[in-house]
Amino acid sequence: MNFVLLLLSIYSEVLKLVNYRFKNTLFIIVIFLSSCVGTQYLEENQNLLYKQKIKGNENISSDKLDDLYVQETNRKLLLLPISPYVAFYEIGKENYNQERTQVALDSLKAEYDRKIAIAKENDNARKANKYQRKFNRKADKLTKKIQEGNLLMRWGEPLAVYDSSAIENTKNQIQLYYESKGYFDADVTVETKLAGLTKKRVIVNYIVEEGHPHIIDTVFFNTGKDTTILNLVEEKRNEILLKERTNYDQAQLSSERERIEILLKNSGYYAFNRQFIEFNVYQSADTNLLSVEILINRPSKDPFHKRYTIDEVNFTTDVNSQVGGRSRQLERYNSVNYYYYQSAYNKKILDQRVFLRPGEYYSLEETFTTQRQLANLDMFRFVNIKYDTAGGEFIANIFTSPLDKYQISNEVGVNVNVTFGLPGPFYNVSLKNRNPFGGIEILELSGRVGFDAVANLSDQTQVTTATEARVNLGLTFPHFLLPFGNQLKSHFGVLNPKTKTGLGYNYTERPEYVRSNFNASYGYSWQNRKQWIYDFTFTDVNLIESKLDSVFEKSLEGQLRFGNQLRRSFQPSFVSSSYINITKNFNNYGTDLQKASFVKFFAEAGGNLLNFDFVAPNVEDSALAYFQFVKAAFDFRHYLPFGRESTLAFRVNVGAAKPYGSLSEGILPYEKYFFAGGSNSIRAWAPRRLGPGSYVAIDSASGNFDYSFEQPGEIIFEASLEARRNIIGVLDGALFIDAGNVWNFSSADKPGSEFKANRFYKQIAIGTGFGLRIDFSFLILRFDIGYKVYDPAREPGSRWTVDEWNLGNRRNYGPALNIGIGYPF
């Protein structure tokens, strides 16, 4: 029976029963619905591996066991028994001729071989290289087509023809996996059955009888007569990965072997490796208790492993540099020998990044730390550390090759305005000067100029042009500019310390206003061994000046009646603050390869100097607007792969900002407020238009909700859950749910905007939708469509809005289109 007809008939009946209140219906037509899960592609004696499942696994999760399948079933479309990827593959296969592609590759090679030979005969090496590059590009495409098939074949997947040997191998894999986890008595059996109208689908069940796990009862070391190694491993016994009274796990044995190897390499044992480590497991009679012996064997030709002490440290700073007729000079500083043609770097600063010293035991960790921290200076093209054991000595040799002193980078591009779809060109330029004063500093001058099509703030339906230009001068020092001694600064060297100073000027010109901002900042950054990154800005000062168009100025005055504080942000202002960012990336969040998380803490205090009695009186009569405030935020993101090519991403973002002091007049600098709605927030609402709380402006003429103006808040809560899955090739799909809002500490002139513990949860807006992402590896172009599910701006009892969804009015309950670059989180 044709699956298309069956599905469409069921769908037709459902439509008759469901009371749709949509004004317009979005009907998506599925291209591939030719038959039941691709079984028409099977040959006479073949069956389809349709479904497989592992049952009886109570102690080991299915996610871990599913990775053991030797043969995979074909991917389905959502939860439907449809495999469009098989259809893509088969259509591509029908139009694929591997021999023809091979002939095309051979012809291409012959053609370019002839061109390259002629170029070489004419002594035109440049032209020959050009032909070679062209050939390589074209040949790579043809080779990929030969190896992987044409584009449709690469997008799709071959039919999962049932293979009994693969099923048997999967059974053995599951059996071995259970044994590796201590379930030595586990038993795995296979059940298969045929399903479907034509009985061509095979359903496979793997039935597991787990039994009882074996428990590690005792762990002990055996180092023979080497008491030095025995003492070292016993000192770190609290770090042992094989814990007593836990299940036996073979993976832990591999991890423990690695831990011991690193421990000994960090304790002077340069030539030691994991092959010297063995495990002997003994089972107590008639019990499931195990004793594990960790045996560290001695070298074949020596009674003990040799422990290496560094005799000398040599640092060559300018490898690959050549100065005719000269030899490198030698300078000794803090027991390290520096070799160079020209003394370009401050040895006191370099010394803070070198953690190898004569007389100390060899350490793999200190070797890597030295290499990493020298690379962090952004002075060297490469950093290599090699050890020389010739002549009975153990010498550490550090080799570095300098980067170019001057580096210039340019970027020309176009921003596309989401609302109007109009292009806005921009140009970025940056000039970097390395080591300008001999202290390993980095001086960087950068600038940007751009033009954007934006909405006119006086009339949201009109398009206008905004010009933005900025220039920044930054100077970064590779240590803390603090009154510390050299010894203490050397201890800080492992933290990759930096002192950052900067001066900047921003200029924005629009028909409504011209705005300039002079900025100065000073701060520190560092990173600890656990990869927490700290960025502390001791002072950030902004002097803001604005010139307003008379019509726009009147518009701002009118907004004050609605409680909108945008007017004050255009006064001449002095905004100063200190803030800190603390972040950590767990397991390389953002790489899409494994379970990972990202966390960020932010805290800021503004107008600190205004708290002093000798400062405040001097600014009260000033024409400038001053601000005192505190602000804090927390952002957590989690990424969880599941299934094949599917991931689940979660984000929660909370924060609060509060003004204080008479000078602030209860108002924050506009840039310090929180906003909700938009491409990286609650996607069913327009950018910065959600909230605060249940407040919404009302258009006096029409009585409808008025989203003309941004809605700042002092408290924010946002949460998003997004399921992502590859659809085909570079095209990914996503389903998402967003929830959140902003609130104020007091309602002011916005009824319902105040945060109250007994009602805030009733004011959390909810939106949902779907998206498409085009993943070019170097760039992800994102299209999301969001619909409002729960709108706190409506009266209680009528806030659920699903029955009002439509395809028309974006300002109410139609689709909100969001275009962005990269993932929303």
> Which residues are bridge partners to 717 per DSSP?
654, 741
Nearest to 709 by CA among 511, 560, 558, 564: 564
pLDDT at 279: 96
Please check whether residue 485 is in contact with residue 352, taking contact to mean a CB–CB distance below 8 angstroms.
no
Number of H helices, E strands in the chain: 15, 31
Please check whether residue 589 is in contact with residue 597, taking contact to mean a CB–CB distance below 8 angstroms.
yes
What does the block give as tokens for 148? 């992987």
pLDDT at position 410 over 90: no
pLDDT above 90 covers what percent of the chain? 54
Place of tokens 């599905």: 7
Q: pLDDT tens digits for 540-599?
A: 999 988 888 887 777 777 766 655 566 777 788 888 999 999 999 888 777 666 788 999
- The pLDDT confidence band at residue 781, using thresholds 50, 70 and 90, is confident
143-151: long-range contacts, CB 8 A cutoff, minimum separation 24: 143/105, 145/101, 146/98, 146/101, 146/102, 146/105, 149/89, 149/92, 149/93, 149/96, 150/92, 150/95, 150/96, 151/92, 151/729
pLDDT at 231: 95
pLDDT at position 116 over 70: yes
**CA separation for the pair 812, 801 (Å, rounded):** 10
DSSP assignments along 1-17, one per residue = --HHHHHHHHHHHHHHH
Q: Give the mean model confidence (pLDDT) for residues 741-768.
A: 90
Q: Give the mean model confidence (pLDDT) for residues 702-726.
A: 86
- The pLDDT confidence band at residue 316, using thresholds 50, 70 and 90, is very high
**CA separation for the pair 497, 479 (Å, rounded):** 5
Residue type, 98: Q
pLDDT at position 432 over 90: yes
Place of tokens 């100029």: 449
pLDDT at position 28 over 60: no
Q: pLDDT tens digits for 197-242?
A: 888 899 999 999 999 999 999 999 999 999 999 999 999 999 999 9
pLDDT at 506: 93
pLDDT at 26: 35
- The pLDDT confidence band at residue 451, using thresholds 50, 70 and 90, is confident
CB atoms within 10 A of CB 370: 23
Residue type, 120: K
pLDDT at 600: 96
Strands (E), 375-460: 380-388, 395-402, 406-416, 423-434, 442-455
Place of tokens 């000046």: 545
What does the block give as tokens for 495? 């933290």
pTM above 0.85, yes or no: no
Q: Give the mean model confidence (pLDDT) for residues 391-396.
A: 93
pLDDT at 459: 52
> Residue 355 burial (CB < 10 Å; 0-12/13-18/19+)?
buried
Question: Crossing angle, helix 250-265 and helix 364-375, to 10 degrees?
Answer: 80
Please check whether residue 449 is in contact with residue 427, taking contact to mean a CB–CB distance below 8 angstroms.
yes
pLDDT at 284: 85
pLDDT at 421: 46
CB atoms within 10 A of CB 501: 15
pLDDT at position 811 over 50: yes
pLDDT at 405: 94
Least confident of 267-281, 417-431, 623-637, 664-678: 417-431
**Terminal-residue alpha carbon distance, the chain:** 45
Q: For the chain, what is the largest distance between any 2 Cα atoms, rounded to a whole number of angstroms?
A: 96
pLDDT at position 488 over 90: no
Q: What phi, psi does 355 have (nearest 5°)?
A: -115, 20
Q: pLDDT tens digits for 271-315?
A: 999 999 999 999 988 889 999 999 999 998 889 999 999 999 999
pLDDT at 265: 97
Please check whether residue 494 is in contact with residue 460, taking contact to mean a CB–CB distance below 8 angstroms.
no
> Which residues are bridge partners to 455 per DSSP?
463
Question: Crossing angle, helix 98-121 and helix 125-148, to 10 degrees?
Answer: 170
Least confident of 116-125, 397-406, 498-507, 582-591: 582-591
Q: Give the mean model confidence (pLDDT) for residues 696-701.
A: 76
- The pLDDT confidence band at residue 429, using thresholds 50, 70 and 90, is very high
Q: Give the mean model confidence (pLDDT) for residues 732-756.
A: 90
Q: State how beta strands 201-209 and 48-55 pair.
A: parallel
DSSP assignments along 398-412, one per residue = EEEEEPPSEEEEEEE
Mean pLDDT (the chain) is 86
pLDDT at 14: 37
Q: Give the mean model confidence (pLDDT) for residues 362-377.
A: 96
**CA separation for the pair 30, 84 (Å, rounded):** 9
